[in-house]
Amino acid sequence: MKKSKTRFFVATLLLVFTFGLYNCTRHDQALNVAAQNGTVLTSIKTATAPAFVAGGASWSGANAALWKNAPVLNVTATVPDVEGTNNAFNGFIGNSTAVTMQSMYDANNVYFLISWKAAQPNMESSPWFFDPVAKQWLQADAQPTYDVNGQLTQRGFGTDGFMMLFNINNSCADFTTQSCYGACHTGVPTMVVDPATGLISSTTTNVMRTNGPGEKLDCWMARMSNVPQTGQLMDYYVDYNGGVTTGDGIEADQTISDGANPPNYSSNQATNGTGGMPNIQTLTITGTSQTEDVPLWVKPAGSTYTNAALLPSDTTGAALLVIAVDANGVLTLKGGTTLNPNTNTTYQSVGTGIGNNDQTSWIPGQIVAPFTGGEGDVTANAYWTGSGWQMMLKRPLKTADVLEQDVDFSKLDKVQFGVAVMFTAPGSINAADNQHAVAPGLTLTFQK
């Protein structure tokens, strides 16, 4: 009999997390969203392009002086109380964070400077930890877990994130009144909590897609497990996908959805490797016929992971391939060295955290790599300021897209957009609120 273990792939977590940064509503759902301090972001023309720095480093000097010329839009992103979402946001409703946005453009590109507050930085994605009682390697879930008495046993672990959604050619009619609420989504586990015990009694899903043929949203996703490493956001789009109710409209750029054989985003990522790959494999436990999921690549015991991530370069250098696991969870690495999580408690789950809660020592659940093709259109730099994140973005005014999957800024027309934020609120049981805060109903204008 195989060793019992819940198996999930980081690619699936990425998919869930990506979808989770939306709030789904149908036409008749009521919204309860905090009022915004203004809704118009004005992009000013600049003769000097902002300079980007690599590796998640901070910047100042000329860039700071340049951005002082751009108007600031202050909004509050709040986790909403939305009717009809099956208690999807229970435990997070009302969590909010201050967001500031500025924009500039030149002859070739549009630029954004965005900052938001957070209680702590979170850059991990499904980190691996060791259960010393069950002698198993597990991956931390984005959802918190509870014991039979309803007591918290493991807080949720998810990467911080920021999303921008643009209404392509004003094609989504609902976007005018509902902003990003005008699209629905699938693959989002929504918790139903038993009020008597606090336990999660069930999960449900919704369907994410636009509400009619020809409706498309251009979506930019910043995951802090990726951005400091790759210098990119993930660029994709959402469409109607033939109106299917069992699939979704989340599509990779430069692919076409026909409703019958949609290019599922996660499978696209798995087949062409863009954006990275899950750091997971299944091995037969030495001396048995049982199998167990374990990390694919790890650094030797005592090593650290930059920004809680593995890079492709690590797999040809600092990281070693895991080639065996025994019944006690001891990993054998290529070359014959071992990693014993029973004696090295850094890897063990402790209380409601993992190990010593030092993200640089956790084994990452994903190998982070740059996005390619249309998915890599948005250049980014993001760094932790000590009290939140600051992020600078750059995208061509008009990309090479010929399928109308990217918004075209070159006409300098008004563009409807909304934002969503994943962050840790003070006192949260999660290492990033896995139900997002939103600031909908925004408009980008260009100073001409």
Each residue of 118-141: pLDDT tens digit? 988 888 878 898 888 899 999 887
Q: Are residues 211 and 235 in the same domain?
A: yes
More confident residue, 332 or 427: 332
Choosing from 367, 398, 414, the residue where a domain stops is 367
Would you give the DSSP letter of residue 348? B
Identify whether 138 is part of a domain.
no
Q: What does the alpha-carbon distance between residue 309 and residue 306 come to, in Å, rounded to a whole number?
A: 6
Choosing from 367, 395, 429, the residue where a domain stops is 367
Would you give the DSSP letter of residue 176? H
Identify whether 389 is part of a domain.
yes
Q: What does the alpha-carbon distance between residue 237 and residue 246 come to, in Å, rounded to a whole number?
A: 18
Place of tokens 């999930």: 8
Nearest to 433 by CA among 33, 173, 120, 135: 120
CATH code at position 170: 2.60.40.1190
Give, in order, the Cα–Cα distances in Å from 61 to each of 66, 68, 207, 387.
9, 11, 46, 20
Q: Are residues 63 and 160 in the same domain?
A: yes
With the C-alpha atoms ordered 13, 14, 15, 18, is the resulting torsion angle positive or negative? positive
Q: Are residues 109 and 23 in the same domain?
A: yes
Q: Are residues 268 and 172 in the same domain?
A: yes
**b/e for 362-376, b at 16 or more Cβ within 10 A?**
bbbbbbbbebeebbb
Joined together, the tokens standing for residue 349 give 């789950």
Q: Are residues 111 and 253 in the same domain?
A: yes
Choosing from 367, 390, 417, the residue where a domain stops is 367
Q: Are residues 385 and 418 in the same domain?
A: yes
Q: Is the pLDDT of residue 47 over 50?
A: yes
Q: Are residues 264 and 332 in the same domain?
A: no
Residue 34: predicted pLDDT? 39
Mean per-residue pLDDT of the chain: 77
Residues with Cβ within 8 Å of residue 23, at least 6 apart in sequence: 80, 82, 85, 89, 180, 181, 420, 436, 438
Nearest to 101 by CA among 74, 132, 130: 74
Q: What does the alpha-carbon distance between residue 384 and residue 369 come to, in Å, rounded to a whole number?
A: 20
Q: Are residues 323 and 428 in the same domain?
A: no
Q: Are residues 166 and 99 in the same domain?
A: yes
| Mean pLDDT, rounded, for 62-81 | 88
Would you give the DSSP letter of residue 357? S
Nearest to 404 by CA among 433, 374, 373, 379: 374
Residues with Cβ within 8 Å of residue 134, at least 6 apart in sequence: none
**How does residue 304 score in pLDDT terms, banded at 50, 70 and 90?**
confident
185-232: pLDDT as tens digits: 433 444 444 545 445 444 444 566 777 788 899 999 999 988 988 899
Identify whether 355 is part of a domain.
yes
Q: Are residues 64 and 200 in the same domain?
A: yes
Identify whether 147 is part of a domain.
no
Identify whether 74 is part of a domain.
yes
| Mean pLDDT, rounded, for 51-74 | 86
Identify whether 19 is part of a domain.
yes
Q: Are residues 88 and 182 in the same domain?
A: yes
More confident residue, 211 or 181: 211
Q: How many residues does the chain have?
A: 448
Q: What is the DSSP string of 119-140?
A: SS----SS-EEEETTTTEEEE-
308-317: pLDDT as tens digits: 788 888 888 8
Residue 105 belongs to what H/E stretch? Answer: strand 96-105
Q: Are residues 217 and 362 in the same domain?
A: no
Strand partners, 298: 320
Would you give the DSSP letter of residue 243? G
**Percentage above 70 pLDDT, the chain:** 71
Can you tell me whether residue 408 is helix, strand or coil?
coil
Residue 252: predicted pLDDT? 74
Q: Is the pLDDT of residue 349 over 90?
A: no
The total domain count for the chain is 2
Residue 392: predicted pLDDT? 95
Structural domain for 225, as ranges: 10-122+156-275+370-446
